Amino acid sequence: MLLRAFSVLVVAIGLSLAGGTLAPRPAWAQATAEEEANRRASVLQNTPEWAAKVQFGKRNTPAASLEARAIGSYARGCLAGAVALPVDGDTWQVMRLNRNRMWGHPDLIAYLESLAKSAPRVANWNGILVGDISQARGGPMLTGHASHQIGLDADIWLTPMPRGKLSREQRENMPATNMVRADWMDVNPAVWTPNHTKLVLHSARDRRVHRIFVNPAIKKAMCRDAGADRAGLNKVRPMWGHNFHFHIRMACPAGSENCQDQDPPPDGDGCGKELTDWLDTQYKAIFAPKKPGGGAPARPKPPMSVDALPAECRTVLVAR
């Protein structure tokens, strides 16, 4: 079980072996333009053309002729009638433009714009830096996320937007800030502030938001800093990675009959044993001695095909 957890964690937070110890490196969601290009080229070279992530990954424009709909589930679906978040707003800037992942369901895009406009008031930030949302037609991605397929997921950097407009080069290569302490048991007080807690909780309190994912260490800090008003804290869920950004997940919007919501989060604020278990597992996955491997590595699963997605996704794929 621990070895399996370790594998998941390596993928999620990007750990590299340096000097005999595990050290964090920038996670996939924050990879530079060169790193992303190399990874995409490798995937395309080693993945059959019929794979859904190849088919959807090559579609650079939305299915604009179709009514906006989130189709399927967050990790197995597609997106009709997507709209793009403008790359610049007064209180937001889109990062990693080369990926073309600034597309979402119109309800999500409207929510992100309203969230960005509230950031100066709520958190005393200039605005927000927006990471990956979805591809132009949603669907599986060539690199990175398993979710973000139906236009209802968005990554918001935990690095506040700086004053002034970032250059294209900065947007492609500027590193995000790791908010987690070196032992992965709490936040780094040199970079995490009460304003981070305020912004994430403000995001969670919107009725349209279903969940927000953060690293377990960040959830721990939010449990400590939230004070008497715990509203929205149960929506903030601990998850591997998410130490550079928080991940917003919207509920299925009206008009998307074939969108599959998750079950609601459990009752309570999520600050008890469940969180302690996440922290303990994360710590052991990173720092426990690695057990000797036994036998040949498992053969990788074949990629998801378009046929494995909801039937409507074929229409989305070929629509003009």
Q: Over the stretch 25-38, which tens digit does the pLDDT of each residue have? A: 445 667 888 999 99
List Cα–Cα distances, 303 to 86, 111, 159, in angstroms: 32, 32, 34
At 210, phi and psi to the nearest 5?
-95, -40
Q: Is-contact 156 250, C-beta < 8 A?
A: no
How far apart CA 29 and CA 92 sit, in angstroms, is 18
The pLDDT, as a whole number, for residue 19 is 33
Within 10 A of 175 (CB to CB), how many other CB atoms are there? Answer: 10
**Which residue type sits at 281?**
T
The pLDDT, as a whole number, for residue 15 is 41
The pLDDT, as a whole number, for residue 274 is 95
Number of domains in the chain: 1
- Scan for tokens 């990675």, then name that residue: 241
List Cα–Cα distances, 276 to 93, 118, 320, in angstroms: 35, 32, 49
Of 78, 207, 218, 71, nearest in space to 156 by CA: 218
Per-residue pLDDT of the chain (320 residues; tens, 9 = 90+): 333 333 344 334 444 333 333 334 445 667 888 999 999 999 999 999 999 999 999 999 999 999 999 999 999 999 999 999 999 999 999 999 999 999 999 999 999 999 999 999 999 999 999 999 999 999 999 998 899 999 999 999 999 999 999 999 999 999 999 999 999 999 999 999 999 999 999 999 999 999 999 999 999 999 999 989 999 999 999 999 999 999 999 999 999 999 999 999 999 999 999 999 999 999 999 999 887 766 677 788 899 999 999 999 999 999 98
The pLDDT, as a whole number, for residue 301 is 87
Within 10 A of 117 (CB to CB), how many other CB atoms are there? Answer: 16
- Which residue segment(s) compose the domain that 225 sits in? 2-318
| pTM of the predicted model as reported, rounded to 2 decimal places | 0.90
CATH number at residue 18: 3.30.1380.10
Buried b / exposed e along 65-101 (16+ C-beta atoms within 10 A): ebebbbbbbbebbbbbbbbbbeeebebbbbbbeebeb
